[in-house]
Structure 1
Amino acid sequence: MVEREQVVVTFACCLGPLACGFALAYNLTKNPAELLEPQWGAWRTYVHFIGCLSGGFFSGFVSNYGRKVVVLVASAPLALSWLFVIFATQVWMVFLFHAVSGMCTGMIMVVVQVYVAEISVPKLRGAVSTAPLLAFQVGSLLCFLLGEILVWKDLAIVGVCVTLPVFVSVVLCMPESPRFLIHEQPGHALSTLQWLRGTENDVMEEYHDISDSTHIDRWNVECEDLIRPTFWRPLLISCGLMFLYNMTGVASFTLYGMELFAEVSSAYINVAHFVVTAVLIIAITLSALLVDHIGRKLLLLLSLTIMAASAFVLGLFLFLKDLHKVDSYFVYQWVAEVFCVVLFTFAHGSGVGPIAWITMGEIFSPQYKWLGVSMASMVLWSSMLAVDVLFHKIRVAVATGGIFWFHCVVCVGGYIFVLVCFRELKEQRLDTITKAFIRKHENLIETFIARI
């Protein structure tokens, strides 16, 4: 049974990711043609992702000052940045919006993910931890829908209205994380934990587990700590999943999906974003229902298997089309290609996508969490930027089919990575997860020597 208080808190803190999703979708949907020349269109996306990268870099550091405080503080410039678009008269104002909104997105997404993992009960942590990503996609879908009927300035006004409720929800409904309060106000941490779990439940065992971390200095990370298994093993897993999040090809499939719809009519270019986002929402919802029952690892392996098959088949279709220099190698090939795009997107949204975020929030110990989540977030946004920048360049070099075969190879490599390195985290307490990474050898060097 999910406690009512936890549902309210999760909904409140997920309004931040919803606003972030709206901002990112605005970047993809609307182009202020009166201000920006066509050659500047791609740079809007680059600036936004660079902003996300910088926000992700600082996210772990600022989270040590309080999860609630960071979400509240980051929401203010996110809301105000929309004013640069509403009153934009110069190109730099549009780019400033994308830079600021990107930085706030990078911070909010990471901190909310950590917060949700910290307030969740172990048996439901996987399902609840999908909520921020689901809210992000809902915000994107909302922007795509409204973008069909509103001009860019009117849509920016809606963006302000979407972002402003974050302040009210955070102030009124979102308590600080008990795992943060245990270092600052131990008594308040107990009362907050009791409120989250319900007054009828005994929380003393969980509170004592959290209290064991009070002796940890969250700021004191030395060089020798970075080679200890309690840091580098979780970092390897989290960064590996964030790398797979993008390099398996979800952005490439979306971009190619846009081309498929554009071939039918230029009016349907944005439909690709709508279809992909709608499929992702359905897939993430399914993932939330399954992740705490069948486990993270099995869901990841199934996801990567379907993604690899979809990428290979789509690459084969495009290779045959390029080889014979025809628009379509067989009748209704475009239907088969659309099916591959949808199937890949569904597999990504039900496995790799949400579990990469879930793992980032739950896998790091309190001492290294601020550093680990920052590094994992940087891997995510830098790889996303790389795929966006290199898609068309790689396409010219190896043809479209080659791109999807490359993603197929990455999926196969990801399958091996998950099979060998990933540790099942289902229904484990956060403190138990940390202890599970301690093995016979104390650091990376000793492990490497032992393997040799």
Structure 2
Amino acid sequence: MMEYTRMRYHRKKLEERDRSAYAQTLAVLGIAFGPFSVGLCKGYSSPALASLRSADNVQTGSSTSTESTTAAFNVTSTSLIRITEQEGSWIASLSLLGALFGALLSSQVLKWGRKRCLLWISVPFSATWCLTVFANSVQMIYATAFLAGICSAIVNIISQVYISEVARPELRGRLSACLKIFSHLGILASFLMGAWLDWRQLALVCASAPLMLVLTVQYTPESPSYLVYSGQIEAAEKSLEWLKGFHSDVSKELGLLRGNIERMRDQGNGCRNVVVPQLVKPVILTSMLMFFSRFSGAFAFNFYAVNIFSQTFGDMNPHMVAVITATVQLIASMASGVIADRVGRKPLLVSAGLIMAITLSGFALYSYVCQLKPSGNLDWMPMILILVFEASSSIGIQPISWLMVGELFPLEYRAAGSALTVAISYTFAFAGVKSFVDLKQALGLHGTFWLYSGICVLGAMFAGLILPETKKKPLHEMDPAMGDNDEA
């Protein structure tokens, strides 16, 4: 009889976990158009710059390889705006500079709630792209790129914090990976649509995604952690019921949330030195992760893909290679969450970092050997190296660096800490994108990627020796003993 009762209890627990997994997945899908909009923003510059440069070439009567490869993808443009190569680099990087300010603003925005903020920011995000459609000068494109960067950073941070707060510890890795999956879907969509649409038409498509977010996010619950933190206990109970199943008893979880948030507040008010381990240390750890992510070479491939590929490949169309790499990033990001939850954050970061270092070294060596005249017969060699690198980056450092931003900060400091870390991250991103051209001029293409390879090795060492493991570790406000995984 006791054995039968025990079996019924375990069966009930499994059913509750299945219901909660289903509900939490639906909640993440409800905010999916947020990271998808961010991905469209990231992928916009590559085809848009090709379109703008193509229009310039047509008007000035010049004939370049960029024009011919663009024509192969049927890109047409009605633009009357002429841009130089330097102006194009500013268009690509100003969104990252805007993201820096967006990250700083997000600490204040997050105080108004996760769901509510996503609703509010979607409207100006869409309006920014609408302004891009009607831009009549390079300066106006600069301004809209900057504003789009602000909105995209806020959406990114809110989405990551939201998922970290609503997902169970054993699901948090794979659900957080959805951010990168939807972001890569946005990048791939930009690359594909940019093959046939000019920069104005593509901006119009980008404007529609935030409006879809307005529709879908209305059906998701607010974060229970935020509701308890803001004193909305009844709403927090309803949110927990939504996320765990309406027939589940959430009184225990609600009690844990209330007790631990009160305890954290008491610690924050009574001991100023608590700030050191709970804020400063996570900021340092996550900022170092972001540094290795931004200077790993992944951003160089994303923002200067056509330029790099045109110098490396002999026969393959660089635009087609960019689409293939974006597809590989998408596929790899789908596996990232499952792998991170099964093998842990640290082993994945170490192994992916070493693979990235090896492939970058191989790519640099190939670039050095073939710098005088690329051989079309050997195009498969750099292609394989690039695809392995992109897959490793999309499984390892790229998604996990964002995942740990949501995992390492306690609720009391999550808004400020996440905003500060992401602001630092976008500073690194801006510096990385702008410095690539200078590094290439000083070190050559091969020397630049050898440098990136060395940074990847340092990143793997940092992950293995210093970074803490957060696999299945509950967030602090859900964990009274700071180590009981069954309570989350």
Q: Which runs of 4+ in 1 moved over 4 A?
A: 220-227, 254-257, 263-267, 432-437
Aligned residue for 1:424, secondary structure, equals coil
Larger CA Rg, structure 1 vs 2: 2
Q: Which residue of 1 aligns with 2:339?
A: 290
Q: Which residue of 1 aligns with 2:13?
A: none
- What displacement does 1:211 show? 1.2
Q: Which residue of 2 aligns with 1:415?
A: 460
State the AA in 2 paired with 1:122: P
Aligned residue for 1:182, secondary structure, equals helix
2:186 equivalent to 1:139 = yes
- What displacement does 1:89 show? 2.5
CA distance in 2, matches of 1:104, 1:404: 31
Aligned residue for 2:473, secondary structure, equals coil
Q: Which residue of 1 aligns with 2:319?
A: 270
Q: Which residue of 2 aligns with 1:351?
A: 396
Query: Which deviates more from structure 2 when the two are superposed, residues 271-280 or residues 382-391?
Result: 271-280
2:470 equivalent to 1:425 = yes
2:37 equivalent to 1:19 = yes
RMSD: 2.6
Equivalent residues in 2 for 1:243-258 (5 A)?
Answer: 243-254=291-302, 257-258=305-306
Under a length normalisation based on structure 1, what TM-score does the superposition of the two structures give? 0.88
Aligned residue for 1:306, secondary structure, equals helix
Contact 2:92 2:303 in 1 (8 A): no
CA distance in 2, matches of 1:40, 1:112: 32
Q: Which residue of 1 aligns with 2:233?
A: 186
* Cα-to-partner distance string for 1:299-345 (whole Å, 9 max, x where unaligned): 111111101111122222233445xxx425x8844321121111111
CA distance in 2, matches of 1:92, 1:426: 46
Specify every segment of 5 or more residues in structure 1 that has no aligned partner in the other structure, as ranges: 438-452
- What displacement does 1:26 show? 1.6
State the AA in 1 paired with 2:21: E
State the AA in 1 paired with 2:144: F
Contact 1:230 1:435 in 2 (8 A): no
Q: Which residue of 2 aligns with 1:107?
A: 154
Distance 1:232 1:151, change over 3 A: same
Distance 1:429 1:50, change over 3 A: same
Q: Which residue of 2 aligns with 1:444?
A: none
Distance 1:177 1:397, change over 3 A: same
Distance 1:382 1:143, change over 3 A: same
2:97 equivalent to 1:50 = yes
Distance 1:340 1:149, change over 3 A: same
2:220 equivalent to 1:174 = yes
Q: Which residue of 1 aligns with 2:438?
A: 393
Distance 1:251 1:433, change over 3 A: farther
Aligned-pair identity (%): 25
2:283 equivalent to 1:235 = yes
2:58 equivalent to 1:10 = no
Aligned residue for 1:428, secondary structure, equals coil
Under a length normalisation based on structure 2, what TM-score does the superposition of the two structures give? 0.82
- What displacement does 1:386 show? 1.1
Query: Which deviates more from structure 2 when the two are superposed, residues 94-103 or residues 265-274?
Result: 265-274
Q: Which residue of 2 aligns with 1:446?
A: none
Aligned residue for 1:427, secondary structure, equals coil
- What displacement does 1:118 show? 0.3
Contact 1:296 1:355 in 2 (8 A): yes
Query: Which deviates more from structure 2 when the two are superposed, residues 107-116 or residues 240-249?
Result: 240-249
Q: Which residue of 2 aligns with 1:125?
A: 172
Q: Which residue of 1 aligns with 2:447?
A: 402
Distance 1:232 1:434, change over 3 A: farther
CA distance in 2, matches of 1:75, 1:282: 27
Specify every segment of 5 or more residues in structure 2 that has no aligned partner in the other structure, as ranges: 1-17, 56-79, 484-488
Count of residues in Structure 1 that have an aligned counterpart in Structure 2: 432
Contact 2:294 2:428 in 1 (8 A): yes
Query: Which deviates more from structure 2 when the two are superposed, residues 22-31 or residues 258-267?
Result: 258-267
- What displacement does 1:217 show? 4.8
- What displacement does 1:254 show? 4.2
